Amino acid sequence: MNKAVRQIACTQCGAPLALHGGHRSRGLTCGYCGALMDSQHDYQIVQRYKNEPRPDVPLKIGMQAQIKGVDFTLIGMVEYLSEDIDRWVDFCLYSPTHGYQWLTYNNGHYVFSRRVRTVPTPETVQHFSPKMRINAMDRTFLAYEQYEAKIVYVEGELTWLAKRGDTIQATEAIAPPYIFSYETSDNELEYNLGEYLPAKDVHQAFGLEPPAQTKDVHPAQPYVPNPLIQSSSLAAKYHLIVALILVLGLLLFGRGKVVFQQYFDFNDHLEKTSPVFHIDNGGDLLELKLRADVHNNWGFYNVEIYNKNNDEAVYSLAEEIAYYAGYEDGESWSEGSHSAEALFFLPAGDYYAQISGEGENAPSPNVTLTLHAGVMVSRYFIGLAGLMLLLWLWLPIRRQLYEQKRWQPILGDEDDE
């Protein structure tokens, strides 16, 4: 980096001032007395700032850094105050090989920008609305805000005579990490393309301590997912596919085979006994299902399964089945169910069932008893698929919340598109 630095004496107070910029530097503002001098007219005083407090910023004039592979020297700074009392500082950077560029500091965020000659579409924004599309530099930007700001502090070398009280009208559009802006001052329109730079990278380039983490979201700040969340979301995507295939297979082929089914008519109030049925494999999971003819009433059922060889009860089930439905206030409603299920195991052998029931209005509603063997339970895999779905959606949900936080200062509580 070029270390040669010229010096002149302030024409107002005589303080020594270093000159870091090139031949296009026009205005020089003394950091001691606030005098603004015109370098093209023998540093004649144009304006003087009195008792203006220097902005509380981490960077100082004369600091050097390599940004995007280019060596720059910080030669000047301008502080702006917008209509909503937001303050930011534009630092003027100079490189002998790449000329003048800008580093904007705002609430702990940095944007590295340069003037561009590319004319955007539209060329001017007469009727601004948030999220309107602006095409520039082979990108599509979304309009973010439009505002007026005035200069409240100047120091060092700049490419123009920046006077306190001068105003600019700006329109900014974003395509993170890029930001495109229209700036109008003194009836002159300029276009700027900026790129958001992480504060830690900027501080490292200038040899500063790492900055404190900012809590707000800059308009051009890209969403950078947590590596753990990103890897978990990616892994969950493929596990979800496997889980859904398993669930589909179990729903299609996991019902097993029907070893017994019978309809029981309780109109005669008697306890019912089923024919004998056979269980081939004692390792099979069995599902007992009761389906009752209930509608706006209930039935309570006791089911006992007996071993045919010794007439001993080996399994029992007591379940209430109730279902109610109606139409009220223009809407239909329902609650309850027509069925009840139970899972269990039995050794291989011959069995029979006894069932009794009672109802809201005796006799009990009639019921169908079905027994499946070789059942495979799908609810665990459905739960696994649900968990994988949540993990997969975790990343886009966080991204959406991040975008809502980005646009909230502009859109308020309106829904984000």
Model confidence over 306-362: pLDDT tens digits?
A: 999 999 999 999 999 999 999 988 889 999 999 999 999 999 999 999 998 888 766
How far apart, in whole angstroms, are the C-alpha atoms of residue 113 and residue 392? 36
The stretch 78-101 carries a mean pLDDT of: 91
| Residue pair 191/119 in contact by the 8 Å Cβ criterion | yes
How far apart, in whole angstroms, are the C-alpha atoms of residue 254 and residue 100? 71
Strands 99-106 and 312-328: unpaired
Residue of 368, 364, 362, 314 lying closest to 340 (CA atoms): 368
Secondary structure E strands in 96-185: 99-106, 109-116, 133-136, 139-158, 167-175, 178-185
Q: pLDDT at position 377, please?
A: 78
CATH of domain 255-375: 2.60.120.380
Model confidence over 135-194: pLDDT tens digits?
A: 999 999 999 999 999 999 999 999 888 888 899 999 999 999 999 999 998 888 999 999
Q: What is the DSSP letter of 138?
A: T
Q: pLDDT at position 164, please?
A: 87
Tokens 């944007």 belong to which residue? 111
Residue 256, burial from CB neighbour count under 10 angstroms (0-12, 13-18, 19+): middle
Point out the least confidently predicted range of 269-273, 288-292, 401-405: 269-273
The stretch 269-285 carries a mean pLDDT of: 86
Q: pLDDT at position 413, please?
A: 65
Average pLDDT of the chain to the nearest whole number: 89
Token pair of 255 as six digits: 């019902």
The stretch 193-215 carries a mean pLDDT of: 94
Model confidence over 218-271: pLDDT tens digits?
A: 999 999 988 888 888 888 888 888 888 878 877 777 677 898 999 988 876 678
| Residue pair 100/92 in contact by the 8 Å Cβ criterion | yes
Backbone phi, psi, residue 400, to 5°: -65, -40
How many helices (H) and strands (E) are present in the chain, helices listed first?
Answer: 3, 25
Domain boundaries, the chain: 6-205, 227-250+380-411, 255-375
The count of residues in the chain is: 417
Q: pLDDT at position 95, please?
A: 93
Residue of 117, 392, 349 lying closest to 244 (CA atoms): 392
